Amino acid sequence: MEMLNIKINGQDYTVEKNTTILEACHKFGIKIPTLCYLKDINEIGACRMCLCEVKGARSLVAACVYPIDRDGTEIFTNTPQIRKFRKTTLELILSNHDKKCLSCPRSDNCELQKLCLEYGVEDGKFDGAMTEYEPDTSTLHLVRNNNKCILCRRCSAACKNQYVSVIGANNRGFDTEIGCAFNKDLADVTCVSCGQCTAVCPTGALVERDDTAKVFEAIADETKHVVVHTAPSIRATLGECFGMPIGTNVTGKMVSALRKLGFDKVFDTNFAADLTIMEEGTEFLDRVKNGGVLPMITSCSPGWIKFCEHYYPDLIPHLSTCKSPQQMQGAMIKSYYAEKAGIDPKDIVVVSVMPCIAKKFEIKRDNQGHDGLADNDFSISTRELAKMIKTAGIQFTELPDEEFDPIMGIGTGAGTIFGATGGVMEAALRTVADILTGEDLKDIEYHDVRGMEDIKEATYDVAGMKVKVAVTSGLKNAAVLLDKIRKGEADYHFIEIMCCPGGCINGGGQPIQPAHVRNFTDVKGLRAKALYDDDLNLPYRKSHENPEIKAIYDEYLEKPGSHKAHELLHTSYVKREKY
């Protein structure tokens, strides 16, 4: 490791050779503004906000991509000339930008707005011709408004990182816009609804479809019994929307806020995660014992499922037939809970709070509901729940901790870790290992499948049976595993795939962290740690130990994999065109 002596703004520092100016300045507490840069995703130096001066260089350089490669390099990040360049850049961006900031969904966390304030930008300095676009509202999950786009390319880079690459730059010069090939609507291309584009957009050009008004309307309808359930990862991320540190577990405050919003019942989707393990584990053992299609692949992530249907339809038989926890929870609310509570399912409105805007697409899929009713009526993101809490004037950080409602309020640690990549696999292994050995095993932490590596592989000896598993997240990595299956090179028994890199903790509906946080903070790691810590502290850590899961099989479903369980908890998939 070669170290270099350098100067930044007249101060002496030592850095590793080929460290970028941006990385070096961050290390020493100097913030350089960016609008396009995302580490490992979008390193193109296009927005020019990070321009700095390097003594001896012919022109200003982009700090995000400029490597420090010689001893004695002198860097200046805050001269009058640099500040003038950055301010002018912002004014030029604003000259072709929809400035209806008061009504913009990103008004309170827009990176462009924040920089304009910091640099004292003068609105209207370069007023002139403006391009006008009709917002794309064709999909169930998001809205694209190019009038707010600043052409940073983060969205197209994130889409490419997800393998699908359905959006990119069209046209040239002043007419450049981000769009789909041949100017198609998003609904007419192979978008998998992951929402990673919304999570990286610095402005309000890409946002999830807002269903909060419909949920408020349902709560206000006295003829409806409105039930909400929250995904495992929400407890580890919701606090960020209220200024709390990344990785803060806010389960109790979240439940309290949901009750104050007026929901009649507040359930934990961890319960359905445990239910998923019971059904999925049974399906896996049946495939192993009876010569079923292997490897079996998890089906919890709707973005991943849609990706498989579009790009690898020949591998659909490898998918578990289990519905996702969101859908299982909704199905149980409108059947088991409705019966226990003596409520007509037609009068129940089910709202899910999910980390993933692909869930908005999933609730409308065929073969998801039962008896003519949808399993879930609305699916809202973490961000939408935060908006509802703020709209209602609820002081989130001051709320007391409350417990979920019974019947579907107990979840195990196995259910909690569903929110992180590897969590579904670990939860399944905890239960399958107990079933195969007939013992209550105490060593239940499967560290080989944890972490943020691209692809994790492990082989476990369970009751004399060698079980080979693989775990991945992010569709670019998923394609690697799927290609191995196509070539006959995958000798795995079980594979977990999550659509979003890192799993649900990094879902497209999670709180948006600005680039300067994403680039230098292990956001995924901190959120995942909150879930694993929660797992350690829960009274039940295996899905089959959950007393409410035991009750639902004893009283209603008979046994995992029963005919009734298949009617309510399993689904099918379709081959979709690859446009």
Q: What is the mean pLDDT of residues 377-399?
A: 98
Question: How many angstroms separate the CA atoms of 112 and 341, rounded?
Answer: 50
Tell me the three-class secondary structure of 208-220, residue by residue: ECCCHHHHHHHHH
pLDDT digits (tens, 9 = 90+) for 85-124: 999 999 999 999 999 999 999 998 999 999 999 999 987 8
- Torsion over CA: 76, 80, 81, 82 (sign): positive
What element of type H or E holds 535? Answer: helix 523-537
**Strand intervals (E) in 237-347:** 265-268, 296-297
CA dist 458 and 470 (Å) reads 7
Q: Where residue 127 falls among pLDDT bands split at 50, 70, 90?
A: confident
Answer yes or no: is pLDDT of 579 > 80. Answer: no
Return the number of other C-beta atoms located less than 10 Å from residue 134's C-beta: 8
HEC assignment per residue over 265-297: EEEECHHHHHHHHHHHHHHHHHHHHHCCCCCEE
Q: What is the mean pLDDT of residues 179-202?
A: 96
Closest CA to 560 of 335, 328, 347: 328
Kindly list the strands in the beta sheet with 465-473, ordered across the sheet, starting from the edge strand earlier in the chain: 296-297, 494-498, 465-473, 455-462
- pLDDT, average across residues 161-173: 95
> What value, to the nearest 5°, has the Cα angle with vertex 393 and ends 391 and 396?
105
pLDDT at 459: 97
Report the distance separating Cα 525 and Cα 250, nearest Å.
17
For residue 326, the cross-strand partners are none
- pLDDT tens, position by position, 223-237: 999 999 999 999 999
CA distances in angstroms from 424 to 233, 406, 570, listed in the order given: 12, 24, 17
Give me the pLDDT at residue 132, please: 93
* Residues forming beta bridges with residue 353, ordered by sequence position: 230, 380
Class of residue 324 by CB neighbours under 10 A (exposed 0-12, middle 13-18, buried 19+)? buried
CB 513 within 8 A of CB 240: yes
Give pLDDT, residue 280: 97
Interstrand relation of 142-144 and 206-208 (parallel, antiparallel or unpaired): antiparallel
For residues 554 and 576, give the distance between their C-alpha atoms in angstroms, rounded to a whole number.
Answer: 38
Q: For position 578, what pLDDT does the model report?
A: 78
Convert the pLDDT of each residue in 66-91 to its tens digit.
999 999 999 999 999 999 999 999 99
Cα(264)–Cα(461) distance, integer angstroms = 46
Model confidence pLDDT, tens digit, residues 345-383? 999 999 999 999 999 999 999 999 988 999 999 999 999
Name the strands in the sheet holding 11-16, side by side, starting at the edge strand that comes first in the sequence.
11-16, 3-8, 74-76, 51-54, 61-62
Q: Whole-angstrom Cα distance, residue 236 to residue 247?
A: 5
Q: State residue 472 phi and psi, 5-degree precision.
A: -150, 160
Q: What percent of the chain has pLDDT over 90?
A: 96
Average pLDDT over residues 307-313: 97
Mean pLDDT of the chain: 96
Contact 33/86 with Cβ under 8 angstroms?
yes
Over the stretch 482-519, which tens digit does the pLDDT of each residue have?
999 999 999 999 999 999 999 999 999 999 999 999 99
Alpha-carbon distance 193 to 195, whole Å?
6
pLDDT in tens, 461-483: 988 889 999 999 999 999 999 99
For residue 5, the cross-strand partners are 14
- Residue 497 makes CB contacts below 8 A (sequence gap 6+) with 297, 298, 301, 304, 472, 473, 478, 481
Quote the CA–CA distance of 19 and 2 in Å, as a whole number.
11
* pLDDT average, residue stretch 43-58: 95
CB 337 within 8 A of CB 408: yes
Pinpoint the alpha helices (H) of 128-201. Answer: 154-161, 196-200
Query: pLDDT, tens digit, for every residue of 512-568?
Result: 999 999 999 999 999 999 999 999 999 999 999 999 999 999 999 999 999 999 999
Q: What is the pLDDT of residue 443?
A: 93
DSSP H helical ranges for 377-474: 382-391, 413-416, 423-437
Closest CA to 151 of 201, 104, 187, 84: 201
Reduced to 3 states (helix: H, G, I; strand: E, B; else coil), residue 168 is: strand
CA atoms of 339 and 119, how far apart (whole Å): 60
Of the candidates 531, 511, 476, 4, the one whose C-alpha atom is nearest the C-alpha of residue 249 is 531
Which three-class secondary structure state does DSSP give residue 413? helix
Whether 493 and 294 have beta carbons less than 8 Å apart is answered as yes
Q: What is the pLDDT of residue 85?
A: 96
Q: Where are the alpha helices (DSSP H) in 355-422?
A: 358-362, 382-391, 413-416
